[in-house]
Amino acid sequence: MASGIMADRLSKTFRVKVRDPGLAGAVAALVRPRYRDVPAVREVTFSIAPGEIVAFLGPNGAGKTTTLKMLTGLLYPSGGRVDVAGFIPWSGGSAFKRRIALVLGNRQQLAWDLPPEETFLLNRAIYEIPDAAYRERLDELVTLLDLSPVLDKPVRQLSLGERMKCELAAALLHRPSILFLDEPTLGLDVTAQDGIRRFLTEYRERHGATILLTSHYMQDVTALASRVLIINRGRLLYDGQLDALVARISRVKRLELVLGDGVTAEAVGRFGTVRSFRFPNAVLEVPREEAAATSARLLAALPVADLSIEDPPIEEVIRQAFAEGSAANEGASEP
Amino acid sequence: MRLRAWVKAYAALIRNAWLVDLQYRAAIGLWLLWGVTEPAIALGIWWAIAAGGPVAGYARTDFARYFFALMLVNQLTIAWDSWYLDRWIREGELNFRLARPLNPVHESIADNIAYKARSGGIILLLWLLVAAAWPAVRMPLDPARWALTAVAVLLSAAMRFFISFTTGLLAFWTTRASAIMELHGSLALFLAGRVAPLALLPPAIASLAGVLWFRGMISFPVEVLTGAIQSPAALQRGFAEQVMWLLLWFGAYRVAWSRGVRQYGAVGG
Instruction: Break chain B into its structural domains and give their ranges.
Output: 21-263
Phi, psi at A111, each rounded to 5°:
-70, 120
Q: Do A102 and B266 make contact, defined as CB atoms within 8 angstroms? A: no
Over residues A250-275, the mean pLDDT reads 88
B266 to chain A: which residues are within 8 Å by CB? Answer: 14-16
What is the model's pLDDT at position A330? 46
Contact A252, A285 (CB under 8 A): yes
Residues of chain B in Cβ contact (below 8 Å) with chain A? 1, 5, 8-9, 11-13, 15-16, 19-20, 23-24, 92-93, 95-102, 262, 264-266, 269
Residue B217 has pLDDT above 90, yes or no: yes
Chain A / chain B CB contacts < 8 angstroms:
85
Residue A30 has pLDDT above 90, yes or no: no
Q: pLDDT confidence of B224, banded at 50, 70, 90?
A: very high
Residue B47 has pLDDT above 50, yes or no: yes
What is the model's pLDDT at position B211? 87
Single pTM value for the model: 0.86
Percent of chain A with pLDDT over 70: 96
Question: SS3 for chain B, per residue?
Answer: CCHHHHHHHHHHHHHHHHHHHHHCHHHHHHHHHHHHHHHHHHHHHHHHHHHHCCECCECHHHHHHHHHHHHHHHHHHCCCHHHHHHHHHHCCCHHHHHHCCCCHHHHHHHHHHHHHHHHHHHHHHHHHHHHHHCHHHCCCCCHHHHHHHHHHHHHHHHHHHHHHHHHHHHHHCCCCHHHHHHHHHHHHHHHCCCCCCHHHCCHHHHHHHHHCCHHHHCHHHHHHHHCCCCCHHHHHHHHHHHHHHHHHHHHHHHHHHHHHHHHCCCCCC
A98 to chain B: which residues are within 8 Å by CB? Answer: 101
Looking at beta carbons, which pairs linking B89-92 to residues 24 or more positions away fall under 8 Å? B89/B168, B89/B169, B89/B171, B89/B172, B89/B177, B89/B260, B89/B264, B89/B267, B90/B171, B90/B175, B90/B267, B90/B269, B91/B269, B92/A104, B92/A106, B92/A107, B92/B268, B92/B269
Edge-to-edge, what's the strand order for the sheet holding A34-48? Answer: A34-48, A5-18, A79-84
Nearest to A107 among B1, B95, B264 (CB): B95
Over residues B224-232, the mean pLDDT reads 91
Query: What pLDDT, in 10s, does the model give residues A1-13?
Result: 478 999 999 999 9
Residue B117 has pLDDT above 90, yes or no: yes
Average pLDDT over chain A, rounded to whole? 88
Site from B98, B257, B263 to mutate, A interface, most A CB atoms within 10 angstroms: B98
What is the model's pLDDT at position A335? 31
Over residues A287-309, the mean pLDDT reads 90
Site from B15, B28, B95 to mutate, A interface, most A CB atoms within 10 angstroms: B95
Percent of chain A with pLDDT over 90: 53
- Rounded to two decimals, the ipTM of the complex is 0.89
Of A202, A1, A194, nearest in space to A82 by CA: A1
Higher-confidence residue of B15 and A327: namely: B15
Query: What pLDDT, in 10s, does the model give residues B136-164?
Result: 888 877 899 999 999 999 999 999 999 99
Of A271, A274, A266, nearest in space to A297 by CA: A271
What is the model's pLDDT at position A326? 59
In order of their start, the domains of chain A are 5-13+41-246 (3.40.50.300), 251-310 (3.30.70)
Phi, psi at B93, each rounded to 5°:
-75, -5
Tell me the shortest Cα–Cα distance from B268 to chain A, in angstroms: 9
